[in-house]
Amino acid sequence: MNTVTSIKIFQAMPENERKIWYVPEGLATEYPIRESEEVCVELFEKISKEQIPLCLQPEDSKSTKMFIRKEVWERIKRAVSYLQKETQGTATLKITDAFRPLERQRIYFNELMRETQEKQGLEGSELWEYVTQFVADPNRCPPHSTGGALDCTVTHVKTGNDYDMGSPMNSASDASFTWDDHIQMTAQKNRQLLYTAMRKAGCVNLPTEWWHYSYGDQYWAIFEKQKYALYGSKETVLV
C-alpha cells in the first residue's frame, strides 16, 4: 500500500493518484474538525418512509436500528440511484455498519490488536500502524463514531446475493485494499462499480478497505481538500 507522509503532498496529487494512496491514521486524525452538530437519521425508518431500494444487514444481527448523519443519507440515495440505473434495477447498495458508538469501536480495536499481535508478533507502533489500517483507534477520531462513515457493498435485488468483491468485508489483509490487483478481474470491476457509485454520490473511500466510505469526517476533508472536517466522534448517536 502506498502511504503518504505529508497531507500537502497528498492533496497536490490528481484524484486518480490520491485514491490509491493511504493517509495513515497518525496524519489523518491531526486534521482540524469544526463539528456541525448535524443530526443522524435512522436508516430502517428512512427506507420505509421514502421507499428506497436499499438493503440493510447490521453486523449485529440483533440490531433493529442503524444511524447515519443526515447529509450522508442524501448521498446514499444518490449511490443507490446510480447503481439502479447502471444495472437496470437489478442491483443496489447493502449497508452493514454506519454510526458506531465508541464503546463498540473499542471492542473491535482491542480484538484486532490482540489477534494481530498473536498471529504476526507485531509490537508497539508497528502493531498500531498495521491495525489502524483496518480499525480506527477509539482514542483518536474513528470515522464510524462520527456518523459519517458506512461499510457497504453491492447486492442483487432479487436474490440478495452480494457481488463478488474478491475478499470478505472486514478482512484485515492486503486483499482488502480497494485497488489490489491480485484479485480476479470480475471482483476488480465490481469494486470499481461500488467506487464510482459512492464517488458520484460525494463520498470517499478508505483505500485499505474496499467497503468503507465516508463523508464529512477527517479523511473526507483531506481527500476533498476541505479546510476542516464537519463531524467529530461521539459516544452516542446525535438525534
In the chain, the domains with their CATH numbers are 12-223 (3.30.1380.10)
DSSP strand pairing (149-156 vs 67-69): unpaired
Q: Mean pLDDT, the chain, as a whole number?
A: 96
pLDDT digits 0-9 by tens, 158-203: 999 999 999 999 998 999 999 999 999 999 999 999 999 999 999 9
For the stretch 77-107, what's the b/e string if a residue is b when 16 or more beta carbons lie within 10 angstroms of its beta carbon?
bebbbbbbeeeeeebbbbbbbbbbbbebbee
For the residues 101-118, what does the mean pLDDT come to?
A: 95
Q: What is the pTM of this model?
A: 0.96
pLDDT at residue 141, rounded to an integer: 96
Instruction: Please report which confidence band the pLDDT of residue 98 belongs to, taking 50, 70 and 90 as the band edges.
Output: very high
Residue pointed to by grid coordinates 443519507? 73
Whole-number Cα distances in Å, 3 to 19, 24, 131: 11, 7, 14
